[in-house]
Amino acid sequence: MKEYIERRAEEVARYIVRSNATVRETAKRFGISKSTVHKDITERLQKIDPALAKEARKVLEINKSERHIRGGMATKAKYLHALPGSAPIRKKL
């Protein structure tokens, strides 16, 4: 594995552990795809630093278990910001 990929995988994992970041936040922060974040944590980092990989996976599992709550909060915020008296926001089918 190339050295810059190993460094990135370690940096991504440290960021996730330090900030309890989601995969999406991490991908945006590092300018990589969500798939790359997953691969860095689950495959690449396991070979480089198994202890760090385990810590990062714990954070990602917690985030995964809470994502339905964040989704509900986002939907609530969306509808609270609709102007009073205006037509409801509806998605086109």
At residue 91, does pLDDT exceed 80? no
> Of the segments 34-38, 71-75, 76-80, which one has the largest average pLDDT value?
34-38
Task: Determine contact, residues 61/16, Cβ cutoff 8 Å.
Answer: no
CB neighbour burial string for 68-91, b if at least 16 within 10 angstroms, e if fewer: eeeeeeeeeeeeeeeeeeeeeeee
Predicted TM-score of the model (pTM):
0.72
